[in-house]
Amino acid sequence: MLNLSSPNLPISIIIPVYKGGQAFYDCLASLKNSRLSPAQVIVVVDGDDPHSYQIAEAFGAKVLQLKTNQGPAVARNRGAEIATGDILFFTDADVTIHEDTLEKIAQVFESNPRVAALIGSYDDQPGASNFLSQYKNLFHHYNHQIGSEEASTFWGACGAIRRDIFSKMGGFDESYRRPCIEDIELGYRLKAAGYQIRLCKDIYVKHLKRWTPYSLLRADFFYRALPWTELIHRDRNFVNDLNLQWSSRLSVIFIYLLLIVLPASVWIPPLLFLVGLLIIGLIVLNWPVYQFFLKKRGFIFTLAILPWHWFYYFYSGLAFVIGTVKHKLKRNRSILPTKA
């Protein structure tokens, strides 16, 4: 059973889950080790998932059951509707918290009345041991550790917000029916309304997800990059933060130049010199990233991530082009004159 008590600013934890399995059990178990107990733990079972329901009940959480799978935006909003804490802390069912996560969240809000919301970071010890999971989750950790503390987005895996402000903003956009960018979209609306979001680099959670090539590409390309591009155009928000640094944008250009020049060098050998320059340029532009991986996992691991990291720039660039075209087509259709 979870030991529930209220800090000065009571925290309600909201966890959407659908077929959570062992990771979900570990998620709830980690709450028992928290130095600061939450006022509530609300689990929203997003569809027909009796096993997750039983796990949540066994841990003493307040459980909501949705009849059909509607996505985390809906699930989080339904959880927020019954929350009583002054602070809403959103996390995922495949995430565990550190013993000081809630304590540090409470300290930030208590000492900074102007902070409307905050986000934390994955730690540098991902739960899944396979190569792709280590790469993906460490890369996420790195991006948050170098990001601006004056954040421009929200994050549903480790994000806290004052309940009154969340309600005033209307919660997450429920038009996002899959695990998508509903958290980023909320962050953009918060910033547009003049609210402060803090990136707290010392507030950690551990990601347990085991990434495969299929799940990584599906999440990165279809659920994040494509809708995020359309959101960027909608709000005209090209903020140089997290995944939108200038080095990343230049790297995308270098990757596409490399894809053009490398095949051409078979017929025009002098182009091999340009190929070399582009490869050196990519390494120089991303040297801080590679230094990070060298320090954390060594030379062989760092060498192995290069193809995946450069592939990431390829599909990110492709998603931006496709998303931009989709946005322009939608905008053009919306301004076409209607027939009398």
pLDDT, tens digit, 9 for 90 and up, residues 261-316: 999 998 999 999 999 999 999 999 999 999 999 999 999 999 999 999 999 999 99
Question: Distance between CA atoms of 75 and 179, rounded to whole angstroms?
Answer: 11
Question: Distance between CA atoms of 172 and 73, rounded to whole angstroms?
Answer: 5
Question: Distance between CA atoms of 118 and 115, rounded to whole angstroms?
Answer: 7
Question: Distance between CA atoms of 17 and 27, rounded to whole angstroms?
Answer: 11
- pLDDT, greater one: 257 or 241: 257
What is each CA distance from 235 to 150, 189, 230, 239, 249, in whole angstroms? 18, 9, 9, 11, 19
Cβ contact 92:156 at 8 Å = yes
Question: Distance between CA atoms of 206 and 23, rounded to whole angstroms?
Answer: 11
CA-atom Rg of the chain in angstroms: 21
Position of tokens 């909501």?
A: 64
- pLDDT, greater one: 235 or 105: 105
Is residue 238 pLDDT above 50, yes or no? yes
pLDDT (0 to 100) of residue 332: 67
Structure tokens at 21: 């399995």
Q: Do strands 95-97 and 196-207 pair parallel, antiparallel, or not at all (unpaired)? A: antiparallel
pLDDT (0 to 100) of residue 279: 96
- pLDDT, greater one: 164 or 236: 164
Question: Distance between CA atoms of 177 and 232, rounded to whole angstroms?
Answer: 19
Q: End-to-end distance of the chain based on CA atoms, in angstroms? A: 66
pLDDT (0 to 100) of residue 140: 95
Q: What is the pLDDT of residues 2-29, one digit of tens each?
A: 554 445 789 999 999 999 999 999 999 9
Q: What is the pLDDT of residues 22-73, one digit of tens each?
A: 999 999 999 999 999 999 999 999 999 999 999 999 999 999 999 999 999 9
pLDDT (0 to 100) of residue 128: 96
pLDDT (0 to 100) of residue 6: 46
Q: What is the pLDDT of residues 185-223, one digit of tens each?
A: 999 999 999 999 999 999 999 999 999 999 999 999 888
Is residue 336 pLDDT above 60, yes or no? no
Confidence category of residue 179, pLDDT binned at 50, 70, 90: confident
pTM of the model: 0.90
- pLDDT, greater one: 317 or 228: 317
Question: Distance between CA atoms of 243 and 142, rounded to whole angstroms?
Answer: 11
78, HSE (Cβ side, Cα atoms, 13 Å): 22
Average pLDDT over residues 112-128: 96
Least Cα distance to 115 among 127, 107, 123 occurs for 107
Cross-sheet strand order for the sheet of 115-122: 62-66, 40-46, 11-17, 87-91, 158-162, 115-122, 196-207, 95-97
Please provide the average confidence, as pLDDT, over all residues in the chain: 91
Helices in the chain by DSSP H: which ranges? 21-31, 50-58, 72-81, 101-111, 131-146, 163-168, 182-192, 213-217, 226-235, 246-264, 271-285, 287-297, 299-335
pLDDT (0 to 100) of residue 239: 56
Please count the other Cβ atoms lying within 10 Å of the Cβ belonging to residue 103.
16
pLDDT (0 to 100) of residue 237: 58
Question: Distance between CA atoms of 187 and 181, rounded to whole angstroms?
Answer: 10
Is residue 243 pLDDT above 60, yes or no? no
